[in-house]
Chains A and B, each alone.
Chain A
Amino acid sequence: MKISLNEIKKYVDIKIPTDELIKLIGSRLVEVEGTDDWSKKYKNIYIVKVISCEKIEGTHLTLCKIDAGESTKFFSRASVPHEAQEQAPPAPAGGRAAGSQKDFVGSHEGTVQVVCGAPNVHEGMLTVWIAPGAIVPTTYGTDEPFEISERKLRGYDSAGMLSGADELGFSDEHKTIVEIDPEMIGADGKKVTPGASFADVFGLNDIILDIENKSLTHRPDTFGLIGFAREVAGILGQKFTEPEIFATAGASVAGSGKTSSKTSEGIALDANISDPEICPRYSCAIVDFTDTPHSEYLTLDDIFLVKADMRPISPIVDATNILMLKTGQPLHAFDYDKFVKVGGTKQSKIIVRTAKPGEKLELLDGKNIECDENDILITSNDVPVALAGAMGGKNTEIDGHTKRIILESATFSLYHLRKTQMKHGIFSEAITRFTKGQPSGLTMPVLEATIKTLGEEPLLIEDCYPAKPEQPTVPVTLGDINSLLGTSYDLDTVVRTLENVGLEVDTDEVASTGEEAANISSSSVRASLGAQQARPVKTGASAAGSARDIAASSSEHDFIRISVKPPFWRTDIHIKEDVIEEVGRLLGYDNIPLDYAKRPFIGAHEDALLVLKSRLRDICSDRLAANELLTYSFVSRKLQENVGENPEDSYKIVNSISPELQCFRQSLTPSLLEKVYMNLKAGYSDFSLYEINQVTKKSFGLNSENVPTMYTHLSFVTLGDFYQAKAYLKALFKDLNLPLDLASFPENNYPYLEPVRSAVITGKHEISTSSGSAKLSSLADRVDTPVKTVVDTPVAQGSANFVLPETIGAIGEVKSQVLKRLKIDKPVAVFELDLDILLENLPKTNIKSLKFSRFPSVSRDITVRVKSEITFKDIQQALEKALAENCGVYAVKPVSVYQAISKTKNLSFNLTFADLDHTLSADEISAIMKKVTDSVVKQFAAEII
């Protein structure tokens, strides 16, 4: 939103420097995203009179002599560097700062020669001259500022340039040069003369503020210049003088019925609102007016529109836009004759209603829309002629033949219009204002003002106003205000601040005894507490004292009730906090003394899952040397299909940015596989990646809050085979002090893993009834309540022991066809863990029960030949068992797995063992080794080699 400071100054007396004002607006009203200083932009541009015109043979050019009045005296040759002009004292005399006094090329006896290509240049016209050395305004401040010079065109000297509205930044069309009404009275109050500064005449010595109006969503009043100016007065601590349009508006009275109608001179105006909910007020008038194309002259109104980033179009459109920019109230004009014809009636009959599903309308921009029952339509005798609040219909468009108009000034339900805006993608200035909830109080006065601007009298005027909204009276105490803000403002300051922006304030003393006083006393004590604490953080040292002392020292004003009645244009004040906001903001939040929260010394709880995640990140990054990454929570359907996941089980985003981001992911590994491909392609050949994040799918079901159950997973991918991933997983589990148990791979949640080369990681955590309940309630306690269905039942039934049936996760090699589909040309192994389950399986202690012997240990290698189907684990466990029975400390380390023929394999181990009491003798060692070898030989028909 663009706001002209000059326009604001018409309503508010601003005494402080502009930069301070902009800072104040930023800190007390709304973010100022940028400022555009126009005074520099239109420097050295003058109003001139064309004395003579002479066509240049064989071209479209005209050789003009212009009267540039006094300006040529102020302004020297093009050789004046632009920078020098910049630094010069204020115009007009300043232009003379440097350069020679020589006349411009082709100038003669006070006239300047300019070659002009515009078709509308003619003798006697007043136009705009960009003098040599000046910058074309539209290029000002850009990377390539275009400086006008003196030069030869087709052999003729030409100094400067006669400007079109487009070069000045006032139009998007490049056709003609600007023409100025010779009778015009400028913004400076003087009649325009050749040589006058263009900026002075058109009020361009201005600063345009670029306002980020997102934070004004609840403030429709600030979407008009007057409302914005009122706030500026408020933050400057000045009482705002309401312009007539607002001063009188509050007085209008609601009509008694839903409809009313009037007739005059054989024409009638009948307006009906089907439901006041969708249209609280509909004011309209019939005016005889012939719309003409935009005047040939550049006017001050044009500049007003341009400063707001709009363009002049035609007298009717401009009048409605100007009034909208000033008041925030949008208007619309219909062609009366078309309106009546469309409705098939003799007189105008307006019905405002919601659309029927499928009802069609061609809009002014030529777009055909199909409505639904949310859209509000303006109809002529039930035939749609406009999409209310958004855009008029083609069938009642104003054109060159229009002789009579119906002017509409109404308010509509912002909720309906918001949906209409989204559905049909209409983002006009009007709907932007309507969707903030314009007050109904303004429609009539703005309608009347618009007709006045057009210089007409209404034939008929009509106001359908079924119910005038009652403004609430909001009670608040000074104590409420100071205790929420942490301030100690006095009553006068508060009342004045509110009254400055048009709020009606009544104060009324509450008896200091009796029930009412008792009711408010507690809040008053709090209030004074707030005031007591309100001192700068750095200096606030002394204790606040007892509540009794504070109550005694608190201001008597804390007990005074302040009744605030917002004016009709304030739709945002309903509760006392709204009033407190007003006080805090207008007086400046930055003036609130800083304080610290009063906190007891209570340690924060640690969230077990967060602690685990942090631990896992330490392990994966610091010990396993993997790189942590983050990938999007949404994946493509294609990826899910490629890895064998069922896309139908995914929650799908209906308004996704692209098909790549359509499905909420069911597991993390597929996302990581995509990154494996990318990084392989980038030339990395040895890496492990991991991510910790949330996953969900429909089959997980909903939790007790009826939102999808989500789990936190860790996925770890590495280049290599199963055993590579297992080595990492084993190290990770060792760090967690958790035994690693793998079981054969059933059909499960990881369709991309090769079943015969993968395993599930089983949890062994058994929960007894009592501790189980505790644990589960702690699970259920988690805000995200990841209560698994299987866990729910036993708790509800209070049954005996049960085991969490979920596996902690899975580990394995990615199926070769999956790798192929993802274009990964190296084997990849992964493990994916469910951290909620892992958490439940973590040992509750960190006791490692380490035992080391003081005596030398014995190291022996042993190789066992067994049948292929015997697992490594079988042999290892048997060896461990035999050693455990025969010596104090021992270790069994895998050395190798060798398989030459398919029937048998050779498993080699390194055994180390020692006794806790003495050094083992050679005999003892032989005896132990015999027992150990015997154990495997017997049990597994093994052969020691």
Chain B
Amino acid sequence: MLSVEDIKKSLKALNAEYAKMKTLAKEERKAFGIQLNEQRQKLQQELQAAEEAAASRKVKPIDVTAPSAPNKKIPEIKQGSKHPLMTELNRVLDIYSHMGFNIIEARQLDDEFHMFEALNFPDGHPARDGYDTFRTEEGFIPPAHTSTMQHRALVRYRDDLEKGGQIAVVIPGRVFRNEDVDATHEHTFYQCEGIFVSEDATMGQMLGVLKNLFEVYYGQDLRIKTQPGYFPFTEPSVELLIEKPKSLGGKGDGWLEMLGCGMIHPNVLKIAGIDSEKYKGFAWGGGIDRLAMLKYGLNDVRYFESGKLEFLKEF
């Protein structure tokens, strides 16, 4: 290719040719002009190409692996993050919402009645010991399970039953247990409770619904199994286990304990003013921290309430 300078010289020479126009006969002028114009156009195109080629030769290559150009400030993008427990809780609540469950949030300071009595724990019953509850000077209890809201939910929606409807509620909340903190135990954690009451609820329905819940959550078919449990507020009571999902590295052999569940004890329905002969229900509750720990492969539950940016920025 010709250099820019050469092309410019040619252009100059060509421009000089135009002076000859005057010397030509009128008939010849037109053809001569067209010819010159064509030549000039061509040269101008060549000039542009040559100039662009010259300019691009001047662009300096960069190190694409470096965070910035030499001597420049490293560009920064400010990014926020959402707490993994809240994200996981919202995901679970979304699934429940799609299944048609209403949501009521649990309160963080409650009383003996909602913690125990409304749930058919006899006064002084050893089953109360299992909950390691905190207490305030006034005798209020930071709830040890989200079941504290069961009675309220039953009372709030019991009119729906009379109108031929059902009660379908989930209750997320923060719960508290007086236990020593280590990698797998926190005194503060999150649970999500569910209750369903209808005229024909069965244990088979309960197991089917919960299986479906985890299948939606993990996006795959899952086997379930149970272990007998004991909760004063359900009868029968079981612990539900699911096959370890593929997304958590399951290969079809391991089992994960996911939640406690059972058919709502008739006394719990009665205390809430619901006819326990006419209506049956099931209830369940499980931890959110565990879901998040499994999902993100966290080995220490204490990260959650640590407030460390080092942790938070990962989500």
Contacts and interface: CB of A to CB of B under 8 A. Distances in A.
Interface of A: 26-31, 214-219, 414-415, 418-419, 422, 435-436, 483-487, 523, 526, 529-530, 533-534, 537, 575, 577-578, 580-581, 584-585, 589-590, 592-605, 607, 609-610, 614, 617, 620-634, 651-657, 661, 664, 671-672, 674-675, 678-679, 682, 684, 686-689, 693-694, 696, 705-708, 710, 781, 783-784
A466 B302 CA distance: 54
B225 interface: yes
A621 B81 contact: yes
B75 interface: no
A633 B203 contact: no
Contacts of A485: 202-204, 236
A707 B96 CA distance: 28
Interface string B228-239: 111010011111
B23 to A, nearest CB: 54
A598 B100 contact: no
B88 to A, nearest CB: 12
B80 A625 contact: yes
B107 A784 contact: yes
B137 A27 contact: no
The 5 tightest CB contacts between A and B, nearest first, are A486-B204, A486-B202, A675-B307, A581-B236, A621-B80
Nearest to A576: B266
Contacts of B114: 707
Contacts of B103: 604, 607, 610
B263 A484 contact: yes
B162 interface: no
Contact of B100 (A436, A599, A653): A599
Given A596-B212, A696-B109, 6 more contacts: A218-B230, A415-B124, A418-B126, A590-B225, A604-B102, A628-B86
5 contacts: A31-B227, A533-B200, A651-B109, A674-B307, A686-B78
A601 B100 CA distance: 8
A605 B203 CA distance: 26
Interface stretch (B26-34, B46-54, B64-72, B174-182): B174-182
Contact of A629 (B126, B129, B149, B307): B307
Nearest to A675: B307
B142 interface: yes
Interface string B96-107: 110011111101
A710 B125 CA distance: 29
Contacts of B308: 675, 678-679, 682
Contact of A596 (B109, B123, B205): B205
A217 B102 contact: no
B110 interface: yes
A720 to B, nearest CB: 13
Given A418-B124, A581-B235, A783 B149 contact: yes
Interface of B: 78-83, 85-86, 90, 93, 96-97, 100-105, 107-111, 114, 123-127, 129-130, 134-138, 140, 142, 149, 152-153, 156, 165-166, 168, 174, 176, 178, 180-181, 187-188, 196, 198-209, 211-212, 225-230, 232, 235-239, 263, 265-266, 277, 280, 304-305, 307-310, 312-313
A783 B148 CA distance: 12
Contacts of A589: 203, 207, 226, 228, 236, 238
Contacts of A626: 80
Given A578-B235, A581-B235, A630-B86, A435 B126 contact: yes
B202 A484 contact: yes
A594 B204 contact: yes
Q: By DSSP majority rule, is chain B's interface helix, strand, loop, or mixed?
A: mixed
A661 B127 CA distance: 25
A653 B202 CA distance: 40
Nearest to A596: B208
Contacts of B86: 617, 628, 630
Nearest to B111: A707
A387 to B, nearest CB: 18
Given A599-B168, A602-B100, A633-B176, A484 B203 contact: yes
A28 B105 contact: no
Nearest to A650: B136
Contacts of A694: 107-108, 174
A590 B125 CA distance: 29
A607 B225 CA distance: 33
B207 A594 contact: yes
Nearest to A575: B266
A629 B313 CA distance: 10
A929 to B, nearest CB: 38
Given A31-B227, A523-B277, A577 B266 contact: yes
A215 B81 CA distance: 40
Contacts of A674: 307
Contact of B80 (A593, A602, A624): A624
A609 B105 CA distance: 9
B80 A628 contact: yes
Nearest to A419: B124
B187 A607 contact: no
B165 A602 contact: yes
B137 A654 contact: yes
Nearest to B177: A657
A599 B164 CA distance: 11
B142 A653 contact: yes
B80 A483 contact: no
Nearest to A31: B227
A27 B227 contact: yes
B80 A217 contact: no
A217 B130 contact: yes
Contacts of A682: 308-310
A843 to B, nearest CB: 23
A687 B105 contact: no
B9 to A, nearest CB: 47
A627 B165 contact: no
A29 B228 contact: yes
Given A533-B204, A589-B203, A651-B140, A631 B305 contact: yes
Contacts of B108: 633, 664, 693-694, 696, 710
B198 A598 contact: yes
A633 B130 contact: no
A603 B312 CA distance: 34
B109, B123, B127: most-surrounded residue (chain A CB, <10 A) = B109
B196 A783 contact: no
Nearest to B79: A625
Contacts of A214: 130, 230
Contacts of A601: 100
Contact of B134 (A436, A596, A656): A656
B187 A631 contact: no
Contacts of B101: 604
Nearest to A602: B100
Given A217-B130, A620-B80, A657-B187, A600 B166 contact: yes
Nearest to A519: B277
Contacts of B187: 657, 661
A684 B313 CA distance: 11
Contact of B204 (A219, A422, A487, A620): A487
Contacts of B153: 783
Given A577-B263, A707-B140, A585 B204 contact: no
Given A216-B230, A610-B105, A584 B203 contact: yes
A684 B307 CA distance: 13
B200 A598 contact: yes
B174 to A, nearest CB: 7
B109 A679 contact: no
B105 A529 contact: no
Nearest to B276: A577
B152 A630 contact: no
B149 A415 contact: no
Contacts of B176: 633
B202 A534 contact: yes
A575 B269 CA distance: 14
B151 to A, nearest CB: 10
Contact of B200 (A30, A529, A664): A529
